[in-house]
Structure 1
Amino acid sequence: MKCFLLSLIAILLHLGVTLRCYRCMNGYATSTVCSNQLPSGNVIECPGPNSQCYESIQWFNNGSLQLAIRDCWIPPNNNTRGGFCVNYNNTEGVLRYCRNCTRDVCNTDALYYPARSLNCYG
């Protein structure tokens, strides 16, 4: 009986754990908050034992809208196969870069790229 109670407590504690992920969306070609390596405190709590943080670059409208997106992902039906990157299913967008992680606020890679040269027309 004691072993059962300890197992039950361990399961309940595991189910109650939340993962904290950075959450933001902005252009990745400009040095905005979401594009910088360390976003400034936009954090979301992701409930569930299989939650993941992700960071991605997604293109929309044939590349005319290019976004860096960081967020939490909770697998549907608590499925643990793959992650957001493997299960990306947006008919409007194209996934250009993606990374999943499972530690608190771990989605902080540098998604920003500075302009290498200026193209001047005139």
Structure 2
Amino acid sequence: MSSNSTPSGLKKFENGFIRIAGKISGNRLLLTLRDTFVLVAATTMIAGFGIMIQNVIVDPMNGLIFGKQGLQLGRLISGSWATWQQSGFEHGLQTVANLIALVSNGILNFFRVASSSNFQLESLNQIL
């Protein structure tokens, strides 16, 4: 096919589609929505993953690994539930679980405040 020939129907469709897609992809509103979704979704998933680790794995009394309703590794490690509750390992796990909860809640609360109607982007720029 020479360069002087008239474009076929498929070629016209491709050219029109590319032109329209270029206009849509240059839309600032859509770019802002995309960037906002990526920022909020990623951090929310990280916070959710942290909460899952805290409640399922690390929780020394009710989690699935160390707790009474799971594998009961806490009792197996220390010999009894009373000894497990007094052990340093249990207290360390509880501290880690509390730290994960603080970070997760902090991330979620930041985006709650950021999405409120009184919060404006200019104030965030002043903070940063």
The alignment's TM-score, normalised by the length of structure 2, stands at: 0.26
**Bigger radius of gyration, 1 or 2?**
2
The alignment's TM-score, normalised by the length of structure 1, stands at: 0.27
Which one has the bigger helix percentage? 2
**More RCO (CA 8 Å, sep 6+):** 1
